[in-house]
Amino acid sequence: MDTRTALLAAAAALLVAGAVGAVAAPEAISDPREANEPPGRIDVAGATVAPGEVRGETAELRLGTDLRHRGSAVENVTVRHRAIGAESGLLVNETTVDVGDVDFEGERTVNGTVTVEREGGYRIETVIFADGERREQQTTRVAGVAALTPDYADTQVGFTDGSVWPTVAVSVVEADNETATLSASVSVTNRGDEPSDDVDLRLYLRQAESNVIAAEATETVGTVRPGRTDTVTTTVEVPQGYNYYVDAALFDDDVLVDETQGVANLNPQETISPNQTVRDVAFSVEDFQRGEDGVSGDDGADRAPSDGSTDDATPGFGPLVALVALVVAALTARRRR
């Protein structure tokens, strides 16, 4: 056998042995590219928190977690969110999102939610698990949850906040010795991007020193265009000669959404300002009694004069001064004896 024949026989034997080995142990032969591929790695690239549904006592927080993956596939990935009270350190709520196998390259956002009480602040702890093994953790702090407006009170219409133009303007339409008819004009502004729905405007006129409601009125605020300001006007009748706070409130389906205050100064000797306390002045409860027709005031027969005197008062010195004079005279006469 020559050398060439021997080499060919040896090569054939090697091929047969390799084929037999591949069949007996298929894992012995692997792609060299797979041997160089790094093991799968997953971590948190970023996290966001946004308000979701806001109710009266609780608020939903929408959590977005950006997962970054490199290398081979990572199996059975889950994302756990825990909301922990910032001050108490107590667990408030917990939720888990099942992501499954992760084999994408780059980043992808996984969304989740937790529900918390609408007060205080929270620490949101996000943990990434792969096959039950903790891989990565991210902490996000949230504050001011109480400032979120509940969905039922979310309206774009509110009272106009101007430095010169009055939000509540009151003028006298008609007046006599007993009553005054007032015209109250209230400015409202649509701060949204869409035309507003109808809301209710409710007014209370409170006598300044007693807080007695002298009159009230309700008007409907119709559609207001975006960025526009409308004025709603109503008239009320109150007893003459007193000062009043004009309390105005906007209600959307019986939910208070905004409030403001003005004044009506009908007493020429004393004036009041919004949210200010003043000294007592002459006040008669009878002036604020309501008749069967709901109108404040009466026929004026029992009205007390604004200077505090009575119809049957004695001119000059009052009865107290006269009594003192009698006592002094009696003591003087006794000494002379």
Closest to 100 (Cα-Cα) out of 128, 82, 75, 65: 75
Residues 52 and 128 in one domain: yes
| Residue at a domain's end among 126, 147, 168 | 147
- Residue 332's pLDDT is 54
| Residues 272, 161 within the same domain | yes
Whether residue 173 is contained in a domain is answered as yes
* Inside any domain, residue 58: yes
pLDDT of residue 267: 85
181/113 same-domain check: no
**Domain closes at, from 119, 147, 175:** 147
> How far is residue 225 from each of residues 154, 196, 256, 260, measured CA to CA in Å?
17, 7, 21, 21
Write the pLDDT tens digit of every residue in 153-172: 778 899 998 888 899 999 99
114 and 194 co-located in one domain: no
227 and 125 both lie in a single domain: no
pLDDT at res. 17? 62
Same domain, 138 and 165: no
Whole-number Å distance between alpha carbons of 307 and 223: 48
Range of the domain at 56: 41-147
Count: domains in the chain: 2
Return the pLDDT at 253. 86
Domain-ending residue, one of 288, 304, 322: 288
Whether 239 and 159 share a structural domain: yes
pLDDT, averaged in runs of 10, over the chain (337 residues): 62 63 53 58 90 91 92 91 93 94 89 93 94 90 89 87 90 92 95 92 93 94 94 95 95 91 86 60 49 46 43 44 55 54
Q: What was the pLDDT predicted at 337? A: 52
Q: Is the dihedral of CA 69, 73, 74, 76 positive or negative?
A: positive
136 belongs to a structural domain: yes
- Res 251: pLDDT: 94
Q: What is the CATH number of the domain that holds 98?
A: 2.60.40.10
| 164 and 278 inside one domain | yes
Taking the whole predicted model, whether its pTM rises above 0.85 is answered as: no
223 in a structural domain: yes
